[in-house]
């Protein structure tokens, strides 16, 4: 059976901090859940593996496709490196309240402790309520000992770098960077396939039964990057009708496509799958004369064997385009 552009059934997750924007802004229906904090759009994480939603492969899981098609789906280089594990996880996140302050281990530490990949990620801000902020990194140089002293004194917030956020802002978060998504933000997240999170501080919140969430203060100490960086927000110049690179790291490359008209994308030099995440508008992804629609709030996986596409649109679109280079 021939591979084609694939859309998957969204996995919805209610969260202590989740809100309603997945429905009200992205137009996605999460049914009877009280809220939706995250949607997992393309996932190979055990227990949350995506299932094809449309076309002749509907009902098959991403893992089944990888086992059947291998390099045709993933790209030879990617398949050789990752085997049967899909290397990226794509989410939308709606923070109706601040998320916990957390950090993710790098590949080496995650492999040693959890037999997992580490978690380097990026955020693209869809929508931001006025005054919304997020935390990424430290606002001063620190040693591990200085960090722990501030933490034990209850002064963690004093040493964290806070950023005011607007729509279209981009943040790259390598493994080891302390961070949290602040109240009022709706964003897209591209990350390594990993669900390993060390929760450092959760603002002393409790669940419906009065229980505080588990913290991982000790585990986080060896995972944290204590360096101070002059800039934490990714700087880019938005250009219409051409691709703009946002992130280029060993784990993924992500471009922004902001087009008011039809365009084509040539992937002949890439030995990788491609992921499109539609943030505004809609398009028809044309492959060999056949059209596959994508609209705001949807993600699409282009198998590695697809080497070029036409993106046809009536009203324009904004998309993230990610692959492993």
CB 192 within 8 A of CB 87: yes
Closest to 245 (Cα-Cα) out of 231, 233, 230, 235: 235
Strand (E) or helix (H) holding 148: helix 144-152
User: Rounded CA gap, 114 and 289, in Å?
Assistant: 45
User: Rounded CA gap, 306 and 319, in Å?
Assistant: 18
User: Rounded CA gap, 29 and 12, in Å?
Assistant: 9
Q: What is the DSSP string of 35-66?
A: -BSEEEEE-EETTEE-BB-SSTTTT-BHHHHH
CB 87 within 8 A of CB 117: yes
Please list the active-site residues.
199
CB 101 within 8 A of CB 197: no
């Amino acid at each position: 059976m021939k591979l084609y552009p694939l859309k998957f059934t969204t996995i919805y997750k209610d969260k202590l901090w989740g809100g309603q924007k997945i429905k009200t802004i992205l137009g996605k229906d999460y049914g009877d859940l009280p809220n939706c904090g995250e949607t997992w759009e393309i996932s190979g994480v055990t227990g949350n593996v995506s299932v094809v939603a449309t076309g002749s492969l509907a009902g098959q899981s991403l893992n089944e496709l990888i086992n059947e098609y291998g390099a045709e789906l993933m790209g030879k280089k990617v398949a050789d490196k990752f085997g049967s594990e899909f290397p990226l996880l794509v989410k939308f996140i709606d923070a109706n309240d601040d998320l916990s302050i957390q950090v993710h281990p790098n590949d080496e530490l995650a492999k040693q402790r959890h037999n997992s990949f580490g978690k380097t990620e990026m955020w693209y801000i869809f929508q931001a309520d006025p005054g919304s902020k997020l935390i990424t990194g430290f606002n001063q140089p620190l040693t591990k000992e200085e960090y722990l002293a501030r933490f034990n004194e209850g002064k963690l917030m004093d040493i964290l770098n806070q950023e005011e956020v607007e729509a279209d802002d981009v943040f790259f978060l390598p493994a080891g960077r302390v961070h949290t998504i602040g109240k009022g933000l709706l964003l897209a997240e591209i990350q390594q396939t990993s669900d390993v999170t060390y929760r450092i501080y959760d603002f002393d919140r409790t669940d419906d039964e009065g229980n505080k969430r588990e913290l991982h203060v000790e585990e986080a100490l060896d995972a944290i990057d204590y360096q101070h960086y002059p800039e934490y927000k990714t700087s880019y110049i938005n250009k219409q009708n051409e691709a703009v690179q946002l992130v280029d790291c060993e784990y993924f490359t992500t471009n922004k496509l902001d087009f008011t008209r039809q365009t084509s994308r040539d992937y002949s030099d890439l030995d990788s799958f491609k992921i499109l995440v539609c943030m505004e508008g809609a398009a028809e992804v044309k492959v060999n004369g056949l059209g596959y629609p994508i609209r705001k709030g949807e993600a699409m996986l282009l198998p590695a064997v697809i080497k070029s596409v036409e993106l046809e649109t009536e009203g324009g679109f904004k998309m993230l385009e990610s692959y492993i280079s």
